[in-house]
Structure 1
Amino acid sequence: MTKPFYETKGSELVFDIVNNCSCTLVTSNSGLGKTATMRHIAFKLKQEGFEIVPIDSPGDIIKYKTIKKQVFLIDDVLGKYDLSPTLLETWERMNEKLISCLEMKLGSHKILCTLRLQVARQKRFRNASTILNKVVIDLEHEPYALANEEKQKILIKHLSRNNLENEIKTQEVEIMCETTYAFPLLCKLVSNDEERFRKRIDFFSASLIIVK
């Protein structure tokens, strides 16, 4: 279900919140690990006896809900690049049904979803009558944002998968970890491509252009 994941202070805090909420939305800009975080948390819930149920719409929750413990996963819940009015209206229309559905046995059913920050910041979403905007976690803000030490460990972990960790200087690691935009994604990209690794400093410096 999940690839090797570096547990951070932020991901542990997100897990604690998910444990205490019926619906949690994780947001950030592209490449900052919101989907990886969601899947990692789902994997941890699976170890606690939850069934993982990927869904496409709120109607799927009603359709697939059972008496078992379940966590419903949905990526880019209201659209990938922009807010989908149709999707949001569907969630609003089904809001009361979903609340009743999740409260039937408190804590046994959860919704875990992601949304890009540019969508989550839209006024239409923030003012919507839906469970989706009740618990929103921004991975770019304290206390969830990556600490510098965590960034260094994530970078080294990615490099070590291709035995590159000994081919990079400490000073280079420090420079690369100054990057904030899409940092986890950049670590993955630089470790999987010989040309990118050779030009690693320039690659991280140009990250905003490269990822977009």
Structure 2
Amino acid sequence: MAELPDLTLEPSIKYLRDSIVLMRKLLSKQIFNSKRANNKGAPVTPLTEKNQLKCLIYVNEQYDGWKEECLRILQSKFDAETHTFAPENEILEALQRSAIVQALNFQNPLKFCRPFLSFKKDEAIAHGVQALDLKLPFGEMEVLQENLDLIKMELGVEHVEVLSAIDLDDLAKAGPLVSLLNQSPPSPGYPTPVFLSR
């Protein structure tokens, strides 16, 4: 009897490919920005040769906070058979009643949450209810760890570490560049690389 196919293989390969493209773009951007004077206040380590860099890849494998709440509301308002959602006003009412969204320090939490809701609704309609899961169907850190040699080769750096964005010790490794993680926090499917001089 043949083994069942691994349904996580294709999405994990796409994740790896997309992550490497993202890391390359951010590396180019960080190298370009480090060559210009930075007047914005965010510390930027001067970068010279790529082979003198190390890359810290921060991963958050599960949605949390307001994004988790948005996903839970969408899960409860999604009909898996018809691939449709309850009316928009019903979703927004549930969001307004949500304790975590009420606690947000934003002028208009609905306006803030709407782009994420819209994005996840489109994904669920196109790909099914699994698009509303709090985690990807595979371990992101595991996929990145298993492909460190490929990542090093693609980025042209000799040292790469895969770290948890929710571990304080791992965050400390970024030093002053931890501010980059605040500006662009990782979320499921979107790791955040930080490049440092070795």
- TM interval, short-chain normalised: under 0.3
Q: Which has the higher contact order (CA 8 A, sep 6+)?
A: 2
Instruction: Compute the TM-score of the two structures, normalised by the length of structure 2.
Output: 0.24
Instruction: Compute the TM-score of the two structures, normalised by the length of structure 1.
Output: 0.23
